[in-house]
Structure 1
Amino acid sequence: MPRTDPHDGQKLSRKSSQKPSRTSSQKSSQESVPESAGIFHRSYLLVTLGACALVFLAAFESLAVTTIMPLVSRELDGASLYALAFAGPLATGVIGMVAAGSWSDRKGPVAPLLAAVGMFVLGLLIAGTAGTMPVLVSGRLVQGLGGGALTVALYVVIARVYPPVLHPKIFAAFSAAWVIPSLVGPFAAGVVAQVAGWQWVFLGVVGLVVPALLLTAPSLRGLHGTPGAAAAAPPAPGSAGGEAAAVETAGGARPPGGPAKLALAALAALAVLGLNLSAEVPGAGGVLAAAAVAVALLAVRPLMPRGTLTARRGLPSVILTRGLASAAFFGAEVYLPYLLVERYAFAPTFAGLTLTGGAIAWAAASAIQGRLGTRLEHRRAVRIGSALVLGAVVLAFVTTVLAWPAAVAIAGWILAGGGMGLMYPRLSVMTLALSTRDTEGFNSSAMSISDSLGGALALAGTGVVFAAFSTATTAAASFAGVFALTAVIGVAAVAVSPRVAVVPAAVRTRE
């Protein structure tokens, strides 16, 4: 389940309020609620608590797994599959996003939400009872399918249950549900892993997910597909809602339909998985890796505005910068706790605090840029943010190569979190600024897919590099290779960032 930002809620609420379409029972229910009511009014209390709890648990699981994976890898002798345990769920999550979006448009969000939670729980059970690394990775792949679908299904539930005036508030609550696990999740996961075993980081969440879903059950009654359902739904990642009307995308090309989009997402996910496994093929690994990257890029190209892969100025560069920034940040982040445990003998509890520092910096920088508003120009915010991420990755690389104190890499990651908090909201705002009403859904989906696949490809690439250097004479070589690759990606993000300038409205649809 991808991270969200307070400003991402703005793009979702804006789309969902354009053509509200609800059942008569929902209308009558909402008409009885006073306009001053908030998301914790008795009419919305249970669904608010349930939805936020689901987001909280998905966020906790994402951060917790990053903390405990070094222990898991060591116990299950799974260093060669370490990156796949992270890249795989991101890749299959894109399939879940697309499938749940189309399903919600046709039948309503109830069945997709139930299926998403079921897949998420099944993935947790498989991972928590795994005795080998391949089985654990299989569980993570199933978990990713459920997590991606869960994000989309929840967005559609929100669009159907809450009036548009409350959308910013519920999405702000979702953002808070991500921040809290960022503060306590890594530390708590380390404690659980040391006291009860890493398996309970997976299994313990299972007992909390079902009660969270049950809280939303009363509000799910009657949320079935309606003729106007697609118009009411926000531009959830992978949703086909709004795409039927958006026959002209940013490049003047017709976006693929639901089945075609699902097939392309599946092809891209399979390419990412193939990239992870290419290192296992002696002799032909390099060729297979190159082919997998090419297939992934070809598959994702129709899902993006025209010119994205060539960094065309305006919207395409906004989408590309988002993917490159995610790739550099998340590609390096999952190896920092691993580095601290393996090279500096940190306990998992304290290694996870690195993620907490970055998360706090992310939240603080996001709040600061929100207060600055127009005083901080969008392109400047993106350039500064991408430079901070690159600087943090370079510090991690230098720390590894020169055996500097771990505090240098930890402090650097605070800079990385600040950089992401500074640029992520602005990239969301710029996506809207460079979209027309008919292309908001397609462009928002493209940004989310760029986010997920950028991180997935980077993690797959770092896995190949880590495995390639694992036979080196020094243990630092593998980590140095990982940070070198993510630094190159960070350089690309810095290079593309000046091209995100907002273009005149008259040519927005042709960028």
Structure 2
Amino acid sequence: MSAVESIWRGRRGGVTIGAFALIFLAAVESLAVTTVMPIVSRDLHGEELYAVAFAGTLATGVIGMVAAGAWCDRAGPRGALYAATGLFLAGLVIAGAATTMPVLLVGRLVQGLGAGAQTVALYVVVARFYPPAVHGRVFAAFAAAWVVPSMVGPFLAGAVTEYLHWRWTFLGVAVLVAAAFVLVVLLLRDVDLGGGEHEGAGRGIGRRLLFAVMVAVGAVAIGFAVDAPEAWRWPLAVLVVLVIAVSIRPLLPVGALRAVRGLPSVVLMRGVVSGSFFAAEAYIPYLLIARFDVPPTVAGLALTLAAIAWSTASWLQGRFGDIWGSTRIAASSLVLLGIGMAAELLVALGVLPPAAAMIGWGFAGGGMGLLYPRLTVLTLADSTPTDQGFNSSALSISDSTGSAVAIAVAGIAFGSALIAGSGFPIVFLIAGGLVLLAVIPGLRLDPRHPHRG
């Protein structure tokens, strides 16, 4: 490979390393929090906000995605990247220094804003800093930035919590993010990253941002519904879900919520399976630690196995996906997810030992690894140059919103369990129900010309 083509040499190499590090550290943080949150919520006496600590970050990420996309279109990615990383850092520091669960939640909300915006800004930096011939290599590097954290992040987070303190899973990452950010700033300071080259760039952003805020507020409100009087919890949750459904429609392709064939079903399926997987995953370390007294270091292995299976299945899909076809991949993925949910449910019921939760979650990770990249491929295949940004954004928004809502609803169910010990089984039943629901859009993935809502 020539120096011109390399993404790892000279200034370009420095930017690649810095951007890779920012994504790597965001991945480490995401997986670490899933592992240590049972300990954090116990220490801060905030078990009732356990689900909101996950759902809130995903929800505010939607606002960050919409805002950063418009900022990049109008003024270039530099300012958006700086603001996004600053917010992410501020959120880490607030969470790491928190002495109460509400303060930690504030940190998580700020962190979500930064994380959502940072991803979008980095993608635009790639588009404007690197020549098109190497874009594929850069995005492959970004994908790899998730693989290593997924293998070692949960274990390291458990070790840090056991031998140091859970606060270092936030503050330690903050120090490393600051170092990576300084590297990127120094290398990009005199590089022309462009501005708003298209007339009307960012037009309609006020309306889209308003809807994004409504979606985020709704997702967080569901989590707080667990503190409402028992008679009002579920009516309030249903009302908020309806508000989210109305608010998210302009951010998705027309017909997405009705599973219209083609791109709308692709986008809908992404949200449903994400909700299923991440709602269950948020409670797996909690189940192992609270029910079986498994150390955090060992509990994190369930996430590690799922991550290894995810990356392996993604590689297989990349090589053989076109041969297998989308329908077969979707069906296989849902079967693997179903196996994973069934294993977690049986462990929660005491039918299977804790080790089965770890093994079963590996199956679920494999299902996600097959399906996630395939849905992205279908989205790009059903997009034109004029709507690639909108459709890519819609896919990410569906992903984050589906996860946030499902985690929040699972939190209400967990906190409302009438029979002692039934909370965990109810969570995994909800996640399994979403897998079954995903069959509907899964049968309607055939590409058709999309329309914007």
TM range (shorter): over 0.9
Which residue matches 2:190?
A: 221
* 2:307 aligns with one of 359, 364, 382: 359
* 1:481 aligns with one of 423, 426, 432: 426
* 1:266 aligns with one of 180, 190, 213: 213
Helix, strand or coil at the partner of 1:309: helix
Q: Identify the range of structure 1 (425-434 vs 213-222) with the bigger mean alpha-carbon deviation.
A: 213-222
Distance in 1 (alpha carbons) for counterparts of 2:451 and 2:217: 31
**Alignment pair present for 1:44 and 2:6:** no
Superposed displacement of residue 78, structure 1: 1.4
**Alignment pair present for 1:495 and 2:440:** yes
Helix, strand or coil at the partner of 2:195: coil
Helix, strand or coil at the partner of 2:294: coil
Q: Deviations over 1:168-203 (max 9, x none)?
A: 111111111110100110000111111111011111
**Alignment pair present for 1:443 and 2:391:** yes
Which residue matches 1:234?
A: none
Residues 50-65 of structure 1 aligned to structure 2 (within 5 Å): 50-65=18-33
Q: Deviations over 1:329-379 (max 9, x none)?
A: 001011001000011111000100100000000000111122214221112
Letter in 2 for 1:481: I
Helix, strand or coil at the partner of 1:499: coil
Q: Deviations over 1:377-408 (max 9, x none)?
A: 11210121122112211221122124420122
Superposed displacement of residue 225, structure 1: 4.3
Identical residues among aligned pairs (%): 48
Q: Any stretches of 5+ residues in structure 2 without a counterpart?
A: none
Superposed displacement of residue 84, structure 1: 0.4
User: Does the 8 A contact of 1:104 with 1:225 survive in 2?
Assistant: no
Q: Identify the range of structure 1 (331-340 vs 395-404) with the bigger mean alpha-carbon deviation.
A: 395-404
* 1:390 aligns with one of 338, 342, 346: 338
Residues 190-209 of structure 1 aligned to structure 2 (within 5 Å): 190-209=158-177
Residues 119-158 of structure 1 aligned to structure 2 (within 5 Å): 119-158=87-126
Residues 3-402 of structure 1 aligned to structure 2 (within 5 Å): 36-217=4-185, 218-223=187-192, 225-228=194-197, 257-282=204-229, 283-402=231-350
User: Does the 8 A contact of 2:275 with 2:434 survive in 1?
Assistant: yes
Helix, strand or coil at the partner of 1:437: coil
Distance in 2 (alpha carbons) for counterparts of 1:35 and 1:379: 41
How many matched pairs? 451
User: Does the 8 A contact of 1:106 with 1:225 survive in 2?
Assistant: no
User: Does the 8 A contact of 1:279 with 1:467 survive in 2?
Assistant: yes
Letter in 2 for 1:219: L
Superposed displacement of residue 315, structure 1: 1.2
Superposed displacement of residue 222, structure 1: 3.9
Distance in 2 (alpha carbons) for counterparts of 1:222 and 1:183: 35
Q: Identify the range of structure 1 (36-45 vs 448-457) with the bigger mean alpha-carbon deviation.
A: 36-45
Which residue matches 2:377?
A: 429
Q: Identify the range of structure 1 (168-177 vs 217-226) with the bigger mean alpha-carbon deviation.
A: 217-226
Superposed displacement of residue 473, structure 1: 4.2
Superposed displacement of residue 450, structure 1: 0.4
Distance in 1 (alpha carbons) for counterparts of 2:339 and 2:299: 20
Superposed displacement of residue 458, structure 1: 0.4
Distance in 1 (alpha carbons) for counterparts of 2:384 and 2:11: 34
TM-score, normalization by structure 2: 0.96
Letter in 2 for 1:277: F
User: Does the 8 A contact of 2:261 with 2:446 survive in 1?
Assistant: yes
User: Does the 8 A contact of 2:218 with 2:240 survive in 1?
Assistant: yes
